[in-house]
Amino acid sequence: MPPIKPRNGILNITPYKAGDAKIEGFERVIKLASNESPMGPSPKAVEAAQKAVAAGMQLYPDPSCGALRQAIGEVHDIDPEQIICSSGSEELLHLVAKAYATDGDEVIFCQYGFIAYPITIHAVGATPVMVNEDNYTANVDTIIAAVTSKTRIINLANPNNPTGTYLVKSEVQRLRDGLRDDIILVLDAAYTEYVDRQDYDAGFDLVNNGLENTIVTRTFSKIYGLAGARVGWAYGPAGILDILNRIRGTFNVTALSQAAATAAVLDQDHVAMAKAHNLKWLPRLTQALEELGMTITPSQGNFILAHFAGGPEQSVAMDKFLRSKGIIVRPVGNYDLAGALRITIGTDSENEALLTAMSAFFA
């Protein structure tokens, strides 16, 4: 009997491999591989989750995430009715692809864009179209030039992972202006809270200005320290949100996650503390690694991309050496960046341990 075939595209997917969390022989490791927050979640978020457990796990969560959407709207001064919540922002990328692309359609993403993009595209049978970047940064003209009559969606991470680069507000506007009205622009703003540039904007203005073809995705996995809770959200036009709500899982965000995220977004003091920590260490690590001979791509995330003069051989050796010291960073050969390592900003002690180890490697 022949095997049952899945829909077109699924067998083209290379399964996503998460960053390692353990090293054999080490009871505790320093994990700087997954862009998790070194500050952890707000204590108020932890308390809220504990109260949700006490309230009764036998009850279904609010399918509309009403309290969470209200809190997000209050903090960001946006309409809660134009917010949709999800199990991590990656779920939203899948939902948009599922709703608006199929066999024969094309979805554009950038050369060093989030590796989940081609997964979401193949999963619906559409064709991924990767466009080259300019010095590890998305290029608006290149994206527009790649558009064809088959283009349905453009995924743009801003800031981008794993490079940390970003497009200024005027360039994002120019991109939107250069696209047909029937092309959806997905602005993946997972790292937006870390950005420290006046010329940056997450993209809310595009939605506020009445555009029916742009959606901004966000997450609680990064600066809010709730990666394990799996909570994402998006701000977009009513028409797109209506479609996504029709196809999402009914109870796609757990009661614990809703409670934790609601408390987390309302605790902006904790967010400010996490951002201040990142702003302290991002330039410090950048300078220290440059002094060791590495080239660092300027980052607006909670991580840096370190390029090794010795290429892939040296980056592999460094990764192996760091693991021998109980430190896990992220090789990015799957992004065609085999000569680089992505390093998450850790706690004070973790960053100091990293620098000590890397200095010892070069010594």
What's this model's pTM, rounded to 2 decimal places?
Answer: 0.95
Percent of the chain at pLDDT > 90 equals 92
Residue 351: in which H helix or E strand, if any?
helix 348-362
Give the pLDDT confidence score for residue 17 in this predicted structure: 83
CB 109 within 8 A of CB 117: yes
CA dihedral 347, 351, 353, 359 (to 10 degrees): 180
Residue-wise pLDDT for 163-214, tens only, equals 999 999 999 999 999 999 999 999 999 999 999 999 999 999 999 998 899 9
Q: Is the pLDDT of residue 66 over 90?
A: yes
Q: For residue 311, what pLDDT band results from cuts at 50, 70 and 90? A: very high
Residue 88: name the closest of 60, 116, 61 by CA. 116
Summarize pLDDT for 77-135 with one digit per residue, the tens.
999 999 999 999 999 999 999 999 999 999 999 999 999 999 999 999 999 999 999 99
Percent of the chain whose pLDDT exceeds 70: 100
Q: What number of other Cβ atoms are within 10 A of residue 343's Cβ?
A: 27
CATH of region 43-267, choose from 3.40.720.10, 1.10.490.10, 3.40.50.880, 3.40.640.10: 3.40.640.10
pLDDT value of residue 1: 64
Question: Where are the chain's structural domains?
Answer: 10-31+269-362, 43-267
**Size of the chain, expressed as the number of residues it contains:** 363
Locate tokens 């204590």: which residue?
43
Other CB atoms within 10 Å distance of the CB of residue 16? 10
| CATH class of domain segment(s) 10-31+269-362 | alpha beta
